[in-house]
Amino acid sequence: MSARILDGNALSAQLRGRLADDAAALAARGVQPCLAVILVGGDPASSVYVRNKVAACEKAGIKSLRFDYPQDADPASVLERIAALNADPAVHGILVQLPLPRQFNEKAVLEAIAVGKDVDGFHAENVGRLSQGQEAFFPCTPHGVMKMLESAGIAVKGADAVVIGRSNIVGKPMAVLLTNAGATVTVCHSQTRDLAAHTRRADIVIAAVGRPRFVTGDMVKPGAAVIDVGINRIQDGPEAGKLCGDVDFASVSAVAGAISPVPGGVGPMTITMLLANTIEAARRVADKR
């Protein structure tokens, strides 16, 4: 079997076209959607992510404000900036790029962001609302995965789904979104005994591990949908410097029914959902006026 490729670039292009129309319609109503992005330190991967997010905003007609701080920044100055952005009615979304340097209390920073501007969906109130099935800003990566499954016509209701990884930004919210959509979900992690016994039973496997090519073809049920969230840079050997996912594309694509590639799968969908959340935040403001 050769798996169907779930093309995140193509789906993103389609969705971003619609989001650009939405942004233009809001601007015509006098509300120019605006995202503020805060980057602390010069981590190369974080810098690339922020650059891509800002560029995607500009292309979709979303204004972006970027605030860069040095690695040794005083957390108080970042918290002051967040307070000012919370109070600024022209700013609809606030994103603090993670990870933060060691002197920061990440939780305190995320909770300083106004819930209505928390377009990353990491504030405890948005997390709680998501887990209760209430309206909320959903974290962008798992939300992007749900959109991919939906657009590919992959049935989630009643499906057996395995999420590998239990982080607050991917694994846990992914499991909640799948549960809310009617899947029977197993969350696997570093303490899981016999991971392959779980993945081999799954109709849907979501890999969010952070280990290059961790999921191999022998771990996947024939015909399953496999979504690769991982972004890893290969360190050594002839492929050094190249990006790869958490899924061994060659062996898994020979067994699975559908697979998302890296790059060009979940990555662009994450940014697309960030744009969608920012436009939704701006729409709420426009509707209240």
189 binds ligand NAD (CB under 6 A): yes
Rank residues 203 and 228 by Cβ distance to ligand NAD and give the closer one.
228
Using CB atoms within 10 A of its CB, is residue 121 exposed (0-12), middle (13-18) or buried (19+)? buried
Q: How far apart are the first and last CA of the chain?
A: 54
- Considering only residues 222 through 241, tell me which ones interact with ligand NAD, judged by CB under 6 A: 229-232
* Residue 142 per-residue DSSP state: H
Rank residues 43 and 88 by Cβ distance to ligand NAD and give the closer one.
43
Residue, CB closest to ligand NAD: 167
Please, where are the H alpha helices in the chain?
Answer: 8-28, 44-60, 75-87, 106-112, 124-131, 140-151, 171-180, 195-199, 249-253, 266-288
User: Smallest gap, in angstroms, from Cβ of residue 219 to ligand NAD?
Assistant: 11
205 binds ligand NAD (CB under 6 A): no
What are the two backbone dihedrals, phi and then psi, of residue 94, each rounded to the nearest 5 degrees? -130, 130
The answer to whether 157 is a known catalytic residue is no
210 binds ligand NAD (CB under 6 A): yes
Rank residues 79 and 169 by Cβ distance to ligand NAD and give the closer one.
169
* Residue 247 per-residue DSSP state: B
The answer to whether 221 is a known catalytic residue is no
Residue from 54, 79, 195, 196 touching ligand NAD (CB under 6 A): that is 195
User: Smallest gap, in angstroms, from Cβ of residue 45 to ligand NAD?
Assistant: 8
The vertex-53 CA angle with 52 and 54, nearest 5°, equals 95
Residue from 131, 151, 180, 192 touching ligand NAD (CB under 6 A): that is 192
- Considering only residues 163 through 182, tell me which ones interact with ligand NAD, judged by CB under 6 A: 164-167, 169-171
Alpha carbons 276 and 278: distance in angstroms, whole number = 5
Give how far Cα 210 sits from Cα of 130, 170, 239, 276, Å: 24, 11, 17, 26
What are the two backbone dihedrals, phi and then psi, of residue 224, each rounded to the nearest 5 degrees? -70, 160
Catalytic residue among 22, 117, 118, 120: 120
Rank residues 170 and 258 by Cβ distance to ligand NAD and give the closer one.
170
The answer to whether 97 is a known catalytic residue is yes
Which residues are catalytic, by number?
53, 97, 120
